[in-house]
A and B are shown apart, each in its own frame.
Chain A
Amino acid sequence: MDPVFFLIQVLNGVQYGLLLFLIASGLTLVFGILQVINLAHGSFYMVGAYLAFWFTARSGSLWIAILGGLPLALALGFVIERLMIRFLYRRDHLTQVLLTYGLILIFNEAQRIIFGSDPHSVTVPQIFEGSIRLTDTLSYPIYRLAVSGVCLILVMAMIFVIQKTRLGMYVRAGSVNREMVQLLGVDVGQLSTLVFATGAGLAALAGMVAAPLSSVYPGIGEHILIICFVIVVIGGIGSIKGAFIAALLVGLADTFGKVVVPEFASMSVYAVMAAILLWRPQGLFGRAG
């Protein structure tokens, strides 16, 4: 492979990985801290994408869409936690899977009723329009780079909140020993609502940011759900740092899988997962046992 094109493929892989991290980060929070298997994570992503479409179609600006859509997505996460997820913390994973699978069906049907089954697209914000010329035939859309920037900022913000703030400390402690944190006077119920709503908000934000890149169509959430679980499992459940590294690995594996071993492209990501789990069954940054 030509070194120039090799570097461009690395850029593709990293850029795709960063986007995947943005999508998977909410899932690793909810899965790792609340120990809830949230299959509806992809639905929140879809909700974000359609909110972006709906708001930009009316206001003409993705910025307004994010400003208007994000609070709605957080509120949606809040309501779903309070009305449903709340009652499942002490139940086994099967109940959680059933409930959140039911949510997928409801969200998909609602999407069909409200928006129909045509694909839609979302326009790129004006300041990120255009592209950078890389070779004589290939350019790189500026918006893709901007999305990578957003993802990087978000990684740092999340790591900062979880590692350096009091809130992050409660969250970390709550994930290790719920009862103990409760005894120390922290309202774990409220903390859980906060974490779940944040997870939903992150997924929706990912959907909104990715909407101009991916276009908006029915079933958009299901495509990303499996890859998100792969990232969470590779990274180690609940670890933001792990999810970050895992997302980059998956992005690169997917990109180079398609180019280098096209016959096995659909398996390259899972091969990486299998190899890592053989080496570290708890994932890259997961707690053993």
Chain B
Amino acid sequence: MTRQIKDKNLRLTRRAVLGGAAAAAAASTFPAPFVLAQSAKLKVGLMLPYSGTYAALGNNIADALILAVNEKGGKLGGREVEYVRLDDESEPAKGAQNANKLVVGEKVDILVGTVHSGVAAAMVQVVREEGTTLLIPNAGVGDATGKLCAPNIFRTSFSNWQPGYPMGKVAAEMGHKNAVSITWKYAAGEESVQGFKDGFATGGGKVTHDLRVPFPDVEFQALLTEIASIKPDCVYTFFAGGGAVKFVKDYDAAGLKKSIPLYGPGFLTDGTLKAQGASAEGLLTTLHYVEDLKNPINDKFKADFQKATGRPVDVYAVQGYDTGQVLVHGLAAVKGDAKAKKEFYAAMKSFKVSSPRGEWTFSKSQNPVQDFYLRKVENGENRYQKVAVKALAEPTEACKMA
């Protein structure tokens, strides 16, 4: 098309030049959508934590996402990509403001984010109003694909309920009949414990006591004493980061580890094993990924990610990689036209993701239906034991789309 205009101008008649100018003016005033989609860069907003406690998670997600796109030529649906990074600082109070900066200010075509559930909740609210496509690469907040689910919101990680359920099922299979749950008194903890309860109940197990610590308090001694006096068959816990380190160490120091098995979602022993040391040895957890998972895609991903970033992979990198894969697939189906939402979403939703974590698909609420693995800490590393639950979907009663 550009060449055609050039040919006309070559003739250099006054009339032709005027005509060409008029045509150009007309083209710029009334652009055909298809033309614009092909010419402009596709803007992808990466709203993730690049500073603070979760900085390592945010960087792994962003780098793995870009790795997935670059493996397919670095374009999305044939369009050049512009990544707009925004540090969300894991600050829920700034969540809506930051999301608006990208959605309204930068007019991104796709919004990706984030790690922290509170920030993700704010992003969900913004895209529900603005209609922007959102892909959540980590935050497990149940509402995002539950009560607040929407056609433009996809999650490529897990919902908080999910990693708890397989642990409950495994605990019941091991013959435990009653359990105590202990977590911070906040939504993520409650959702995770609910997963454990539902899984535990499938084998007739019951959680008799729910112990709660005010967030982010890490003084556990009083409640460890409670556990010793209740003497349950097992304990299910949800803590992360510094809290996970301290809880696992305190549980061991109180002598409870020898008599009452401790279970948790994979986050209990992810990125914390070095600090937990011998206290974590032998702990069983369940998650949708474990580094030593045997499949060719995982082997290749581990090598490629290490080469591209110089860092080892973790579950967050896998989630970022899959987010990239989903985008590549979805936008290829609409040739890069992110505004063709119906076809774009249908393509993503029906995509079978060949992931380092094993193949997975989207549920009706647009959250992964995926395998969960039982892992055991051996010599300071999480080791694959078996598939705890195959193709686990979150309960979707709360989501109107399902």
Contacts and interface: CB of A to CB of B under 8 A. Distances in A.
A266 B53 contact: no
A112 B52 contact: yes
Contact of B56 (A117, A120, A143, A255): A117
A225 B231 CA distance: 35
Given A131-B255, A133-B255, A258-B213, A119 B245 contact: yes
Interface stretch (B137-145, B222-230, B316-324, B355-363): B222-230
A137 B212 contact: no
Contacts of B276: 121
Contact of A266 (B214, B249, B253, B277): B214
Contact of B222 (A13, A116, A214): A13
Given A112-B52, A117-B52, A119-B241, A215 B254 contact: no
Given A117-B56, A118-B271, A223-B218, A131 B253 contact: yes
Contact of A262 (B212, B221, B231, B260): B212
Nearest to A255: B222
Contact of B53 (A15, A16, A219): A219
B218 A214 contact: yes
B182 to A, nearest CB: 11
B221 A138 contact: no
Nearest to A130: B253
Contacts, number: 118
B229 A262 contact: no
B381 to A, nearest CB: 16
A10 B145 CA distance: 45
A188 interface: no
A2 B274 CA distance: 37
Given A2-B229, A215-B246, A266-B214, A140 B254 contact: yes
A74 B341 CA distance: 62
Interface in B190-236: 211-214, 216-219, 221-229, 231
Interface residues of B, number: 44
Contacts of A131: 253-255
Contact of A138 (B52, B216, B256, B277): B256
A220 B242 CA distance: 9
Given A118-B275, A131-B253, A217-B245, A265 B229 contact: no
Interface string B260-277: 100000000001101111
Most chain B CB inside 10 Å of its own CB: which residue of A13, A137, A265, A266: A137
A5 B222 CA distance: 10
A254 interface: yes
A119 B55 CA distance: 13
Contact of B225 (A12, A112, A118): A12
Contacts of A138: 224-225, 228-229, 254-256
Contacts of B241: 119, 217
Contact of B221 (A5, A12, A116, A215): A12
B259 interface: yes
Most chain B CB inside 10 Å of its own CB: which residue of A2, A8, A218: A8
Given A131-B255, A137-B256, A259 B223 contact: yes
A9 interface: yes
Interface in B314-334: none
B81 to A, nearest CB: 29
A135 interface: yes
Interface string A208-225: 000001110111100100
Interface of A: 1-2, 5, 8-9, 12-13, 15-16, 112, 116-121, 123, 131, 133, 135-141, 143-144, 213-215, 217-220, 223, 254-256, 258-259, 262, 265-266
Given A119-B245, A258-B223, 14 more contacts: A5-B228, A12-B222, A16-B222, A112-B52, A117-B54, A119-B275, A120-B275, A121-B277, A133-B255, A137-B259, A138-B228, A141-B253, A262-B212, A265-B213
